[in-house]
A and B are shown apart, each in its own frame.
Chain A
């Protein structure tokens, strides 16, 4: 079953019937040294650093996937009010954290 995600408090057009508490998912990633050097070279002219963009997106997708898995294990069919948090841990690693409220919804 596909879990619907939303960053609004309620999913418009749907009714929340039951809440299962907070579903969370997180991942910690460090940057690759080779990519880091390449990004450093790219940094000379400025603009986008594609290596970092892809790395962070990949990590965030994984955090979101873990959050949805957590919600699925609780028996929910939707996660509402999803938020993201980013924090840098030691030595160039970053933690990407996604959390939201696991609920069951019904179409009105």
Chain B
């Protein structure tokens, strides 16, 4: 009889612990997202600006463009496809704010920032990859946006708002 009570109390204790973890984790994570999400994202954006300036200093302008013929290069000996991607998502706080804003409509600044960062970052990665692989310029650059893996537990919606940006072009030298 005594042992039975003991095992039961252990199970109850475990259930209470699991419940506490779930109850405590989500609000804490939400507060963490509110406080540190902004800091994290703005530090990334600042680093991106520095990288952009450095590449602009090395190349002396921009080494990617959307025309289908080269601008500076006269004779082409080799070409190849160059592509880079990034997956971004808004933080929990931004999703929450965006969810409230979307009731009334209008511009949603919290999503705006994330998308602008993602697109700028993917273009910057293309520039850096061009430098790293030794292409003198990248022509016909296209940027595509897709929502991949957007089926969450059988529901046709992207719960965490994950977006993929793909930038690709033809590198020539």
The answer for the CA separation of A43 and B163 in the assembled complex, in Å, is: 12
B80 and A5 contacting across the interface, CB-CB below 8 Å: yes
Return the contact of B41 from the options A5, A46, A60, A84 (Cβ within 8 A). A46
At the interface with chain A, which of B6-14, B16-24, B142-150?
Answer: B142-150
A13 and B75 contacting across the interface, CB-CB below 8 Å: yes
What is the number of residues of chain B that contact chain A, defined by CB distance less than 8 Å?
A: 55
Cβ of B147 to closest chain A Cβ, rounded Å: 8
Task: Point out the residues of chain A lying under 8 angstroms from B88, CB to CB.
Answer: 46-49
Inter-chain contact total with CB atoms closer than 8 Å: 136
Return the contact of B148 from the options A40, A56, A64 (Cβ within 8 A). A56
A5 and B81 contacting across the interface, CB-CB below 8 Å: yes
Main SS at interface, chain A: mixed
Does any Cβ of B come within 8 Å of A90's Cβ? yes
Interface residues of B (CB under 8 A from A): 29-30, 32-33, 36-37, 40-41, 44, 68-70, 75-81, 83-94, 114, 117-118, 121, 139-140, 142, 144, 146-152, 154, 160, 162, 164, 166, 168-170, 172
Interface residues of A (CB under 8 A from B): 4-9, 11-14, 31, 40, 43-50, 52-53, 56-57, 60, 64, 82, 84, 86, 88, 90-94, 107
